[in-house]
């Protein structure tokens, strides 16, 4: 039987590579709720997978991964299912609008225009949210034992004081009632970002933490429910178009399910600021990765910069490896935190 056209023949090196990236990415997702899959799309495209098939197959490994992760963390009592579902459904709307926006930009400005748009959104969002999350993590760390108790911020207190009749919903993660008119834009923004940069959690988790005052452990766990809803919707859309390469998706899933278990176990040992720290570190590092490719796209669009092919190749390679570095660094921090957490825990137990 001949090869089905849009799906490439797979070689063992590529498969092992995807398995490993899946594993490391899974670990990060299990820990911070998302953000483990952004390396996969470019990695698959390097293997020769067409862009849309890479995005579709990545999406198809995300929703089962998020489901397994959410189930695991629900067992630790960290998931607010109601909040996750409400935000998940509104995120779905965000994904649809975001995808449409992408199409419009692509038809008007071509591939380079759409890539430039994605990179700029990446850099701006990560610069604002990443710096904020990282600063908060460092502040909490400096406070020592006092910083281990997460306090409800001023914004969250104000949000909880708003009472809009007939729209109030009780959320167990914050033990308070908040209007769904507030959570809907949060979910929508998460979906919009997911459709643009493939990592909605970079907005979803911080918004739950700072707008609603959800503890970071629960926010990162609840994000997995949102990711499941978004991922399933996205996969159905891509699958109807026939773009899902299930072999690729299942190989990545094979690795990432090993990883997500470790990430989830890790959350039970670490202090709350660690989740913010890993998230902030990854966000800020990925930001630099995108900064390197912005001149490439600007040059292609003739926006005042002219780069030679060699330079473009170098910038692309640097950008890709910074992304890999971000993921590996996140995984190392998680493993280290897990290791020392387990050791401390053992010392507390009798011999």
Partner 1 sequence: MQNLQARLTPQNLRTIALGAVSLVLYVLLFANEQTVLRLSIDGGWGFLVPIAIAFVFSFVHGAFTGGFWDMLGLKAKTRKEPKRWNK
Q: Is 48 in the site for partner 1 (CB under 8 A)?
A: no
Per CB under 8 A, does 72 bind partner 1?
A: yes
Q: CA triplet 346, 350, 351: central angle to 5 degrees?
A: 85
Q: Contacts with partner 1 in 223-282 (CB under 8 A)?
A: 232, 235-236, 239-240, 242, 244-247, 249-250, 253-254, 257-258, 260-262, 264-265, 268-269
Considering beta carbons, is residue 149 or 345 the nearer one to partner 1?
345
CB contact at 8 A, 249 and 57: yes
Residue of the chain from 16, 76, 151, 172 that contacts partner 1 (CB under 8 A) = 76
Q: Which of 39, 61, 88, 200 contacts partner 1 by CB under 8 A?
A: 61
Q: How far is the CB of 303 from partner 1 (least distance, A)?
A: 38
Shortest Cβ 264–partner 1 spacing (Å): 7
| Shortest Cβ 40–partner 1 spacing (Å) | 15
- Considering beta carbons, is residue 184 or 221 the nearer one to partner 1? 221
Q: Does 141 bind partner 1 (CB under 8 A)?
A: no
DSSP per-residue codes, 259-303: HHHHHHHHHTTS-HHHHHHHHHHHHHHHHHHHHHHHHHHHHHTTS
Contact track, partner 1, 147-176, x by CB under 8 A: ------------------------------
Cα distances from 285 to residues 134, 147, 182, 279, in angstroms, run 11, 25, 30, 10
Tokens representing residue 133 in the block = 């999350």
Per-residue x/- mask for partner 1, residues 7 to 36, rule CB under 8 A?
Answer: x-----------------------------
Distances (CA, A) of 95 to 91, 104, 256, 281, 286: 6, 14, 23, 25, 21
Could you tell me the two tokens for 64?
A: 């089962």
93 near partner 1 (CB under 8 A) = no
314-331 b/e with 16+ CB inside 10 Å = b? ebeeebbebbebbbeebb
Binding site for partner 1 (CB under 8 A): 1, 3-4, 6-7, 60-61, 63-65, 67-68, 71-72, 76-77, 232, 235-236, 239-240, 242, 244-247, 249-250, 253-254, 257-258, 260-262, 264-265, 268-269, 341-342, 345, 348-350
């Amino acid at each position: 039987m001949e090869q089905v056209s849009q799906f490439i023949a797979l070689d063992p090196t590529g498969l092992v590579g995807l398995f490993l990236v899946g594993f490391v990415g899974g670990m990060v997702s299990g820990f911070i709720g998302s953000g483990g899959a952004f390396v996969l799309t470019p990695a698959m495209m390097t293997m020769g997978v067409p862009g849309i098939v890479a995005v579709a197959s990545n999406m198809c490994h995300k929703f089962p991964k998020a489901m397994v992760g959410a189930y695991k963390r629900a067992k630790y009592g960290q998931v607010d299912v109601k909040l996750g579902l409400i935000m998940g459904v509104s995120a779905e709307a965000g994904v649809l609008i975001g995808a449409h926006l992408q199409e419009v930009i692509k038809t008007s400005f071509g591939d380079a225009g759409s890539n430039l748009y994605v990179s700029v959104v990446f850099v701006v969002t990560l610069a604002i949210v990443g710096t904020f999350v990282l600063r908060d993590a460092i502040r909490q760390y400096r406070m020592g034992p006092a910083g281990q108790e997460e306090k409800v911020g001023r914004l969250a207190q104000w949000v909880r004081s708003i009472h809009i009749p007939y729209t109030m919903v009780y959320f167990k993660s914050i033990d308070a009632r908040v209007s769904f008119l507030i959570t809907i834009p949060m979910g929508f923004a998460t979906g919009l970002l997911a459709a643009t940069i493939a990592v909605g959690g970079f907005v979803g988790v911080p918004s739950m933490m700072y707008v609603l005052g959800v503890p970071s452990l629960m926010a990162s766990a609840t994000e997995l429910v949102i990711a499941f809803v978004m991922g399933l919707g996205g996969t159905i859309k891509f699958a109807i178009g026939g773009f899902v390469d299930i072999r690729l998706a299942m190989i990545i899933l094979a690795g990432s399910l090993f990883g997500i278990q470790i990430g989830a176990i890790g959350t039970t040992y670490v202090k709350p600021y660690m989740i913010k720290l890993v998230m902030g570190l990854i966000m800020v590092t990925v930001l630099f990765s995108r900064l390197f490719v912005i001149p490439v796209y600007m040059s292609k669009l003739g926006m005042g910069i002219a780069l030679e092919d060699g330079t473009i190749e170098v910038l692309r390679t640097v950008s890709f490896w910074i992304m890999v570095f971000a993921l590996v660094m996140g995984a190392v921090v998680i493993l280290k935190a897990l290791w020392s957490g387990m050791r401390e825990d053992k010392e507390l137990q009798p011999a």
